[in-house]
Structure 1
Amino acid sequence: MTHFKAVIFDMDGVIINSEMFWKQAEYEVFTSLGVNVTAVESALTKSMTTSEVTNFWYHISPWEGKDHKDVEQMVISRVIELIETEDCQIEGVKDFIELLKEKHYKIGLATNSPQRIIPTVLKKLGIEGLFDAVLSAEFEIKGKPDPTIYFNAAKKLNTDPADCIVIEDSHSGMLAAKNAGMTVIAFTNENPEAEFDIADFKINSFCLGQTEIKRMGLLQN
């Protein structure tokens, strides 16, 4: 694996524990509009962009008085509030990224989350200056599992997709990276229910010493 030049991170569930905030905001906002948000249907929105989530609930239970864009921004605003006020850091991720930077890897971020939320996350973690490229699926025609965001991340990093490692926690994200021709490391976060079968490697935690990271082949030296 010593030929790799770039490491691209997913955001929600990989560098920050924010997925429960999205579900909370989804429930609060759409129930306030009269939608009956059930656990079964909410599970279907997990890998969607916020725009797709808004359309999903509107088709189930149309509301009046607010357009889709306003509702989408309500969800995003609530998630931002929760990230700013709640403990949601993933242990060891900042040190992990800094270690990769020391080893001269290019670092990217590719997320289905909207652009507006990214600065909040980076500030919360104190990692604003560590990324060479930051991409949101908000500016792509389709979000993950479509691979376009990963192709564009490689382009922004001036790196061939085959020279990129992607760290993901979701099946749709891993599928997007694999379809872009990239090597995938699943960040399991010790989640026994998630599907990681298509990943090339797995890590349970970012609190890894250099010896274990070298064993995985991530470090060149």
Structure 2
Amino acid sequence: MKAVIFDMDGVLIDSEALHLYDFRVFLNKHNQSFTSDELSEFVGLDKNIFIERLQKMWKPVNQLPSIEEITEGCKYPSDSFQDILFPHVRFILSHLKKNNIKIAIASSSPYDIIYKMLSVNNITSYFDVIVSRNDVQAKKPSPDIYYEALKRLELSPHDCIVIEDSSVGIQAAVNAGLNVIALKENRFSVDQSKANWIVNDLIEAWIKISEVFNLTCSD
């Protein structure tokens, strides 16, 4: 039995652009000016790491908003899950199931957000394992979330492929000894060089998975 482990944000749903848009609005409100490269550094970060990095970059530091204000200003765009589901999600999930490939999520988002996304898009039944930020202490790029996914899948790293998009997510998977497919990101300056393969979409991801697992693409 083999498995594919999906990140959620930027892989199953196109939430990164909304995150950065809301982040830009928040920064403009507080007269903060970040370059595109600086904004890209926040892609895929756990909430606590996100806030820590923002605190270090805020100028002047004595005008830094409270944690509550930052959290509210950059809150998750959770009302649009159907609108931001990536094309071909159901295609790849159904093809994995047809080939008896286990499917997991390993996401830095909290459980309630993950389950809401799956429920709204009616894809919960595809997933055998769901691991969230609630399940581990150390967040990506720590490999802990992928170690936990492997433990629940009862599989070794060489039997699994991860689909990621952010540099911290890719690093987490690599740190866990996993092979990684990166969904190419053209809008932000994201370092995906540590991924084993870079693809344009989830159909290309399925083709690559078929090659690695020696499956027939048409199955």
Give the TM bin, normalised by the shorter chain: 0.7 to 0.9
Stretch moving more, 156-165 or 99-108:
156-165
Q: Does 1:17 align with 2:14?
A: yes
CA contact (8 A) 1:183 1:200 kept: yes
CA contact (8 A) 1:9 1:166 kept: yes
Cα distance per residue 1:79-104 (max 9 Å; x no partner): 213x347x322111111011101211
Match of 2:173 among 169, 174, 177: 177
CA distance in 1, matches of 2:187, 2:110: 25
Aligned partner of 1:165 in structure 2 is: 161
Stretch moving more, 118-127 or 14-23:
118-127
Would you identify which runs of 4 or more consecutive aligned residues in structure 1 move more than 6 Å?
none
Cα distance per residue 1:104-150 (max 9 Å; x no partner): 11111112223332123223433122111112235422221111110
The 5-angstrom pairing of residues 79-98 of structure 1 reads 79-81=77-79, 83-84=80-81, 87-98=83-94
TM-score by length of 1: 0.79
Stretch moving more, 148-157 or 164-173:
164-173
Q: Does 1:114 align with 2:110?
A: yes
CA distance in 1, matches of 2:32, 2:112: 27
TM-score by length of 2: 0.80
Q: Does 1:103 align with 2:74?
A: no
Aligned partner of 2:40 in structure 1 is: 43
| Aligned-residue identity in percent | 27
CA contact (8 A) 1:51 1:72 kept: no
Match of 1:141 among 118, 137, 144: 137
CA contact (8 A) 2:181 2:205 kept: no
Aligned partner of 2:74 in structure 1 is: 75
CA contact (8 A) 2:22 2:74 kept: yes
CA distance in 1, matches of 2:184, 2:151: 27
- What is the CA-CA distance between 1:8 and the residue it aligns to? 0.1
Distance 1:214 1:116, change over 3 A: closer
RMSD value, Cα:
3.0
Aligned residue-pair number: 212
Question: Unmatched 5+ residue regions in structure 1?
Answer: none
Cα distance per residue 1:14-69 (max 9 Å; x no partner): 1111101111222334555x3625235433322321222223334424568x8525
